Amino acid sequence: MEVTYKGSEVDEAPYAGDVKIPASVMNDGITYQVTKLGNNCFSGTSGLTSVELPESIESIGSYAFYRSAIKSLRLPASVKQISDHFLARSSIRELYCPFEHPGSLAIYENAFLNDETQNILHDFDKIYVPAKSLDEYLRLIVWVRLDRTTYNTNVLQEYGGDLFEVDGVKYGIIDESSSEAAVFRANETSYYKGDLTIQATVTKNGKQYKVTRINRRAFCGSYGLTGVTMPETIETIAAGAFLGCGKLVNALIPSGVTQIPEMAFDGCHELRYVVISDNVTSIGENAFNGCANVKDLTLGKNLLSVGKNSLPSPSRTLYHRRARPYVFYNDEMVGHRYSTCVLYVPKGTLQLFSITSPWNGYMRMEEFDTGDSPTPSPVKGDLNEDGEVSVADLTMLAGIIMGTVEPSESAGQ
């Protein structure tokens, strides 16, 4: 059974107001499942304000919402096929796509075209998708094209239901069955600032959820953000998560994270300390691009893939935890600071590193025990622990003397 166009008869008016499509209908005592939105079924519905579709819908016909006035549409997870121009020239700006495996959808070539005569995509403000499936969407060309349309970029967004805040950080539920939550953007017009702690677990409506993900661009543009403490429950840091956080100082990657995606920390100019754990196997392109003030960097043992401009070049210490030297071919680490940075290599490998490029360019090279967790050595007089002695340290010293500032136990003495 399919939903058809209303208004073709003299005494019928097009659909208007809020419309709810039932999952089944009865005719002559027989129950029929509603499985299809027919061609043009909501075409020209200028008075339509919303449509609720049942989980029985499997296919959406051509021009189904052509010139419809609705602003938002939530597709059922039961949909298997989407036909050409299904929302052409409509007012739909938000689309909810609950498909966990978008590659299994049969999407017609012109499904998202907004103009039947020109090759112009429909412009969305947001397309909401399951957080865990975002990467899968962005591997499919149809969704990649929609992610950057004429007027908007990063259109695809993780869906988290009604967001809630804990200690200044916004969270959303991304998987009810496994009780998982994620960190979301503060909102469209404001940004995070100060030192923040991401919770390992959060509670909503009496149920506890484990925080496993930092969403795409969650902290993007938060120039006032100075520090983030990430719990060991975090498994995923999405692309551009900390893009443009110009005052962020530390990036201590939780051990559960295995991939650092593209532009994760791009533009974090004040980043000082970066620790990449042994569990990280890949670092995306431009992951740490523009992080020119990094003092200390630790490279884990198991990197398999490193993108262009993905690693910062530290000025003070570089701990290379893998016994076999990493071989870089495509400017993975730009601008090695051979004269100022001390390269630490695993015990018994000094000779190997001394004959392997680019590592043999470092003027100072020392061995260390990889069983120890390398931490930046405190700099004498560096009271605010930013890796250097400056006027800011004198200001802090004055505050300590006056009793208005508490001294840090770990700061350089």
> Which of 21, 10, 8 lies closest to 48 in space, CA to CA?
21
CATH architecture of 2-158: Alpha-Beta Horseshoe (3.80)
pTM over 0.85: no
pLDDT at residue 330, rounded to an integer: 64
**One fold for 2-158 and 171-402:** yes
* Structure token pair of residue 389: 């002695």
pLDDT at residue 394, rounded to an integer: 67
Mean pLDDT, the chain cut into blocks of 10 residues (413 residues total): 61 78 92 94 93 96 94 96 94 95 94 81 92 93 86 85 94 96 86 94 97 96 94 96 94 93 95 93 94 94 91 93 87 84 96 93 94 55 57 63 56 45
Per-residue buried b or exposed e for 326-361, using 16+ beta carbons within 10 Å of the residue's own CB: eebeeebbeebeeeebbbbbbeebeeebeeeeebee
* Structure token pair of residue 344: 């630490």
* Structure token pair of residue 256: 């559960």
Residue 97: Cβ within 10 Å count: 22
For the chain, domain boundaries: 2-158, 171-402
CATH architecture of 171-402: Alpha-Beta Horseshoe (3.80)
Per-residue buried b or exposed e for 290-300, using 16+ beta carbons within 10 Å of the residue's own CB: bbebbbbbbbb
* Structure token pair of residue 323: 């016994």
